Structure 1
Amino acid sequence: MQFTISQRFYFDAAHTLQREIEAAGSRRIHGHTYHAEVSVSGPRDPANGMVLDLGFLRLRLEAVREQLDHHLLDEVPDLGTPTLENLCTFIATQLADVHPPVNRVRVWRDALGDSCVLDVL
């Protein structure tokens, strides 16, 4: 049997973005509350009944959150342009050594109704 477990976190951050639509507001420094969910899939370990200890995943996500929360995303090393797509990729990359591996990262902004899902293959 295959199980999928997930853990969510949020962070508040500012950024700028160069774009064609809604350009004026996007070019100025502005902020959002972002939400992220990370999923891991695999079989249960027969010894403990878990795919992955969620406490371990929470610790790892807190380390990722610290890199993003109350930061100017334009200045976060290895993030690139602060898009939802790049945030998904950044989070997945920060968790590349988790086992079983992260198979999905979702980042969204409730206030705007925007979201992005990265299915890690």
Structure 2
Amino acid sequence: MSTQLTISQRFFFDAAHTLRREIDAEGSRRIHGHTYHAEVAVRGPLNVETGMVIDLGVLRGHLNAVREQLDHHLLDDVPGLGIPTLENLCLFIAKALAGMRPLPSRVRVWRDALGDECVLELGA
């Protein structure tokens, strides 16, 4: 039996967006901003040579590259994001990390101030 461990790293970004919706429609359609928090988890076996599933420095480097695409941007204009929802932010982060090894097993995006969150579970 192989022991699987999960390690994660969090980051935050401040961004603005608009959103077309039926509830809170007027405020959502105006440009407004939030502080978003994201967490990426990686699951895998312990590398006995390094003592790690993934080097947290490597993971942070990947996450910093994603953060730069989102932080202090108008999310409506971020290429590849689509409609700037929590769901699409999870998918965007996962796609941006598709070249990372091991691959992320979970991506979570939330807004503390509103109590909203979305979790994307990846893999088996």
> Smaller-chain TM-score range?
over 0.9
Question: Identity rate of aligned residues, in percent?
Answer: 72
**Alignment correspondent of 2:108:** 106
TM-aligned CA deviation for residue 74 of structure 1: 0.0
User: What is the root-mean-square deviation in Å for CA atoms of aligned residues?
Assistant: 0.4
Query: Which consecutive residues of structure 1, in runs of 5 or more, have no partner in the other structure?
Result: none
Alignment: residue pair count = 121
Q: Deviations over 1:9-45 (max 9, x none)?
A: 0000000000000100000000000000000000010
**Alignment correspondent of 2:18:** 16
Q: Deviations over 1:64-112 (max 9, x none)?
A: 0000000000000000000000000000000001111101000000000
Q: TM-score normalized by structure 2?
A: 0.97
Q: TM-score normalized by structure 1?
A: 0.99
**For the residues of structure 2 that align with 1:8 and 1:88, how far apart are their CA atoms?**
13
TM-aligned CA deviation for residue 63 of structure 1: 0.5
Q: Does 1:77 align with 2:79?
A: yes
Corresponding residue to 2:29 among 27, 34, 41:
27
**For the residues of structure 2 that align with 1:11 and 1:35, how far apart are their CA atoms?**
7
Q: After the TM superposition, which segments of 4 or more aligned residues of structure 1 sit over 3 Å from their partners?
A: none
**For the residues of structure 2 that align with 1:119 and 1:51, how far apart are their CA atoms?**
18
TM-aligned CA deviation for residue 57 of structure 1: 0.4
Query: Which consecutive residues of structure 2, in runs of 5 or more, have no partner in the other structure?
Result: none
